[in-house]
A and B are shown apart, each in its own frame.
With several copies, the nearest count.
Chain A
Amino acid sequence: MAENYILECSGISKAFGGTQALKDVQLHVRPGEVHALLGENGAGKSTLMKIVIGLYQQDSGTMVFDGKPYQAKGPVDAIKSGISMIHQELNPEPHLTIAESIFLKREDTNGIFLNKRKQNERTQKILDDFGFPYPATTLIRELKLADVQMVEIIRAVSTNAKMIIMDEPTSSLDEQETQHLFRVIRDLKSKGVAIIYISHRMAEIYEICDTVSVFRDGHFIGTSALKDVSNDDLITMMVGRKVENQFPKVDCPIGDVVFKAEHLSGKGFEDISFEVHAGEILGFSGLVGSGRSETMRAIFGMDPLDSGKMYLNGQEFVRKHASDSIRQGVCMVNEDRKNFGLCLFRSIRENTSLPSLPERQKGLFINQSREKREVEDVSKTLLLKAASIEHNAYSLSGGNQQKVVIAKWILAAPKLLILDEPTRGVDVGAKAEIYSLMSKFAAEGMAIIMVSSELPEIMGMSDRVLVYHEGHISGEYFRKDILSGEVTQEVILSSAFGVA
């Protein structure tokens, strides 16, 4: 072996029931490098990482870590060997404090009893070093999603591991926090720590990673140095075909005002006024926690509104619950797919038709044959990768789950569709599909609001961009100015920071 690797996986296979998640894959990671792991949703990235960390056992294949044969029977073994992991979409125990969460399984004790003071002090020091503005005794449940993600990162980093796996660490972070994470990564790298970095955000990959390995459908496609491959090549490797246009935005005529908000105020946002037209994609940009989701949740009827008026097609829009909004044609894809999107253990069919059941009644009963037909149609339109619509949503990969969430709102035929982070955790191929759908529906006269923390997406897809800063609208930009290059990422970012 000429190369000096910290982790070598070879011939790893893993099946879940009938699904072959990994087939004879390999992965070689050097110390001190940031190794990107790319692949479509369901390619098997998380599965391989869970095998490395000991949450799953492979069916066949071997691993070598730090020069020694390695096999983790559980996360404890992995942590002992010097591997830690930031898990994808895994919220830590809500009722523990930050200190308790970071030091879970590594508690400070005097003999058998916990030394809470020492642990809090140690944690506080780590938090302060990180510039994380909370006391160590804050409960996790009191933190915002992004802060929780930071705690996860801090926990992983604080183990002094030789290798850290980061499975989509930035999916709930904004630009600023992402940059913060990158500083941390560079620091770790300089100390010789190896990092496996999984993300669907191509820009990040190019910014921080050295090497890239690509998986497709559970197979290993290849490894190469990042500087040797172009973005398009990578995408082709991942999806097995060329993705012609990453942002297939079709410009279409903008129609009448569909929805108008006047002076909306509520928890996390104040005095928000805007209108959105038929055929328009209105982008909302801003930092995480700037109050975009709160605004959308309030419009949709998931949260209360303190004051303000809304109009739909010229008539006042009054809603108490989400059901009122849906009935009137206002629908929303929530940013939190797992908690607000799907009933994982029910079938794709049931999930998809849920909001639009009232229209699929035949007398007292549901017209199940019509339901089946319509769900099959919409899942074909969305290129949903599922063996059958009778399968549980649980069996789908993340991107395909997201498609089911979108499908259910398409079936509800909304006048206004609010998409909150519509492509979070979705691979490039599926992203392009979702974007082209958005274009298609806009062209059919739907008004679309898209909240996103990914600037390329905002800039690539929006007819108009509104930027949030601490609960207020701090800027408005138009597509023509973005296309002409007059409005750049920096311009939008600075208005998100409230500088402009």
Chain B
Amino acid sequence: MASSPKTKRAASNQDRIRSLLGQYGIGIVLIIMMIVIAIMEPRFMTPGNIINVATQISINGLLCYGLCLCITTGGIDLTVGAQLALTSCIIGQTMTNMQWPAFLSILAGVGVATLFGFIDGLLIAKFNMFPFVVTLSMQLVIRGLSQVITGGRAVMLTNDWFTGIYSNKLMGIPMPIIIFVVVTIIMYLMLHWTKFGRYIFAVGGNVNAAIASGVSRFWVIVGVYTISGVLAGLASMIYTSKTGSAQSNIGVGYETDAIAAAVLGGTSFAGGIATIPGCVLGIFIIGLIYNGMNMIGVSSYYQSIVKGLIIIGAVMLDMVMNRNKH
């Protein structure tokens, strides 16, 4: 070999730094954003506002993990917005109109979301249908169901324990943050430290090779869509508790922010590439776009443009810093 082990090792270290930079280079975007916002609005950096942001991102955060998994297997889950509505309506109907105990209502709501995630996975894995098509159609079905369940009406949630899910604090930390952190840890361990996580990467990276290596495509696909369902259900629980109201028209377009966060976090639409720490960064960036614009006071007419440009810019920057990924 021409190159000595030494130069190879050096090159390898360099590679690692570059790859790390590439993987989490989006962190730089996050830091720049924080500095810019903090300069323009000093109140941004108050502990109160930071806790505020962390609380707000929990809903999008949970959705993002689900989408990250689906995208990593080469798919997509467009149902999450509708799932948000359905779970909310089920929780509202059972808790307020049928007087179920809060815990049981949540179980029913999240359970149904899980079931629909499972059905999505089944249609994709068993019948080999394209995830985009399946979830686009299922989204109609799921939202339709929530309309049928509530007859389009809003249901108020008065159970204190339930509405406390969003506003209560544990040792000064709001519950949504705790839920988000716990889910993040679970997702991290699952994706990066278990067999199932490896199989997700394998199926996303090369499904034929994965099958030939004894991975069950069926269970991996069904698994990730089911998980996405569970997470959407949990997100809906937080959402419903936050607004104190269950209705069928919520969550429209929520997949957009979740997808954007996943992509900013380095999740590749080509499949097989994703990291949970990356997603966390992406989730914070999206959260900061909203909070930052509100803090700085960007006119409502420009908010949509700014958001779009930041996402494109960040993805492009990531691309440049991390060329060899593609």
- Residues in chain A within 8 A of chain B (CB atoms): 16-18, 53, 55, 74-76, 78-79, 85, 87, 90-96, 100, 104-105, 107, 109, 112-114, 116, 131, 133-135, 137-138, 142, 217-219, 289, 300, 302, 321-323, 325-327, 332, 334, 339-346, 350, 353-355, 357-358, 361, 364-366, 368, 385, 387-388, 390-391, 408, 470
Instruction: Out of A90, A112, A300, name the residue touching B194 (CB < 8 Å).
Output: A112
Instruction: Out of B2, B198, B323, name the residue touching A366 (CB < 8 Å).
Output: B198
Q: How far is the CA of A350 from the CA of B199 in the complex (A)?
A: 10
Chain B residues closer than 8 Å to A387, beta-carbon distance: 8-9, 11-12, 15
B119 at interface (Cβ–Cβ under 8 A)? Answer: no
Q: How far is the CA of A242 from the CA of B269 in the complex (A)?
A: 46
How far is the CB of B18 from the nearest CB of chain A, in Å?
Answer: 8
Instruction: Out of A75, A94, A107, A217, name the residue touching B195 (CB < 8 Å).
Output: A107
Known: A94-B272, A133-B3. A343 touches B211 (CB 8 A): no
Instruction: Out of B4, B15, B214, name the residue touching A323 (CB < 8 Å).
Output: B214
Known: A95-B201, A343-B209. 5 other contacts (CB 8 A): A76-B214, A87-B212, A104-B199, A334-B212, A365-B193
Chain B residues closer than 8 Å to A321, beta-carbon distance: 211, 214, 216
A96 and B9 contacting across the interface, CB-CB below 8 Å? no
B189 at interface (Cβ–Cβ under 8 A)? Answer: yes
B300 at interface (Cβ–Cβ under 8 A)? Answer: no
A345 and B189 contacting across the interface, CB-CB below 8 Å? no
User: Could you tell me which residues of chain B, from 265 to 293, have a CB within 8 Å of some CB in chain A?
Assistant: 268, 270, 272-273
Question: What 10 A-B pairs are tightest by C-beta distance, nearest first?
Answer: A343-B205, A93-B205, A323-B214, A76-B214, A326-B214, A75-B214, A95-B272, A355-B213, A105-B214, A133-B5
Q: How far is the CA of A391 from the CA of B2 in the complex (A)?
A: 19
B198 and A302 contacting across the interface, CB-CB below 8 Å? no
Known: A113-B193, A321-B216. A133 touches B206 (CB 8 A): no
Chain A residues closer than 8 Å to B268, beta-carbon distance: 345
Query: Looking at A95, A289, A339, A388, which has the most chain B CB atoms within 10 Å of its CB?
Result: A95
Q: How far is the CA of A385 from the CA of B201 in the complex (A)?
A: 24
| Majority DSSP secondary structure for residues of B touching A | helix
Known: A93-B205, A217-B1. A350 touches B15 (CB 8 A): no
Q: How far is the CA of A3 from the CA of B1 in the complex (A)?
A: 33
- Residues in chain B within 8 A of chain A (CB atoms): 1-5, 8-9, 11-12, 14-16, 189, 193-195, 198-199, 201-202, 204-206, 208-216, 268, 270, 272-273, 323-325
Chain A residues closer than 8 Å to B16, beta-carbon distance: 390
Known: A321-B216, A323-B216, A343-B201. A365 touches B194 (CB 8 A): yes
Q: How far is the CA of A425 from the CA of B275 in the complex (A)?
A: 34
Chain A residues closer than 8 Å to B5, beta-carbon distance: 133-134
Chain B residues closer than 8 Å to A113, beta-carbon distance: 189, 193-194
Find the B residue at minimum CB distance from A470.
B2
Chain A residues closer than 8 Å to B2, beta-carbon distance: 217-219, 289, 470
Chain B residues closer than 8 Å to A92, beta-carbon distance: 206, 209, 213
B212 and A332 contacting across the interface, CB-CB below 8 Å? yes
Q: How far is the CA of A138 from the CA of B12 in the complex (A)?
A: 7
Instruction: Out of B8, B198, B273, name the residue touching A133 (CB < 8 Å).
Output: B8
A85 and B212 contacting across the interface, CB-CB below 8 Å? yes
B193 and A341 contacting across the interface, CB-CB below 8 Å? no
Chain A residues closer than 8 Å to B199, beta-carbon distance: 104-105, 357
Find the B residue at minimum CB distance from A86.
B212
Chain A residues closer than 8 Å to B212, beta-carbon distance: 53, 55, 75, 85, 87, 90, 300, 302, 322, 332, 334, 340-341
Known: A92-B206, A93-B202, A342-B206. A133 touches B4 (CB 8 A): yes
Find the B residue at minimum CB distance from A87.
B212
How far is the CB of A251 from the nearest CB of chain B, in Å?
Answer: 31
Q: How far is the CA of A321 from the CA of B198 in the complex (A)?
A: 19
Q: How far is the CA of A275 from the CA of B38 in the complex (A)?
A: 65
Q: How far is the CA of A45 from the CA of B151 in the complex (A)?
A: 61
Chain A residues closer than 8 Å to B204, beta-carbon distance: 95
Q: How far is the CA of A246 from the CA of B210 in the complex (A)?
A: 33
Find the B residue at minimum CB distance from A290.
B2
Q: How far is the CA of A219 from the CA of B9 in the complex (A)?
A: 21
How far is the CB of B138 from the nearest CB of chain A, in Å?
Answer: 26
Known: A339-B209, A343-B209, A343-B210. A100 touches B198 (CB 8 A): yes
B195 and A357 contacting across the interface, CB-CB below 8 Å? yes
Q: How far is the CA of A104 from the CA of B214 in the complex (A)?
A: 8
22 contacts between A and B (CB under 8 A): A16-B324, A18-B11, A76-B216, A90-B208, A93-B210, A94-B206, A104-B210, A105-B199, A109-B194, A112-B194, A114-B194, A142-B15, A300-B212, A302-B212, A326-B213, A353-B198, A354-B213, A355-B213, A364-B194, A388-B12, A391-B12, A470-B2
